[in-house]
Amino acid sequence: MPDCIFCKIAAGEIPSNKAYEDDDVLAFHDVNPQAPVHLLIIPKAHVAAGAAEITSENSALVGHCFEVAAKLAKELHLEGFRIVTNNGAAAGQTVPHLHFHLLAGRDLTLHLG
């Protein structure tokens, strides 16, 4: 997708600090880390702008992203971690290319409800 930062990173047109790469998925360090470990895991292809566009057509790639997250968590010996995806500007999404934040290395305790 033209003008998509993450498509350019996936294509190597914008440099990134890569943590994992295969034919379909890339993981790289967030430029503005919110935790000591803050990786972004993306499908290389622009299959969806965000989670609201996940369908049976692209969900295998979503599963693949989570497999990569589990692999990285194991390799990095992460004791606890959080996977976050922001959908839409109201949720703070700034890059409309489906991606998952993998956060770890600080207290991530969250009280819901």
99 noted as active-site residue: yes
Catalytic residue among 29, 77, 99, 101: 99
Token pair listed for 97: 């290319």
Cβ of residue 77: shortest distance to ligand DGP, in angstroms?
22
Residue 68, CA atoms < 13 Å, CB-side half-sphere? 27
Q: Strand (E) positions, the chain?
A: 18-21, 25-29, 37-43, 82-84, 100-104
To the nearest whole angstrom, how small is the minimum distance from the Cβ of residue 44 to ligand DGP? 15
Nearer to ligand DGP, 32 or 56 (CB): 32
Toward ligand DGP, which CB reaches closer, 36 or 56? 36
* Residues catalogued as catalytic: 99
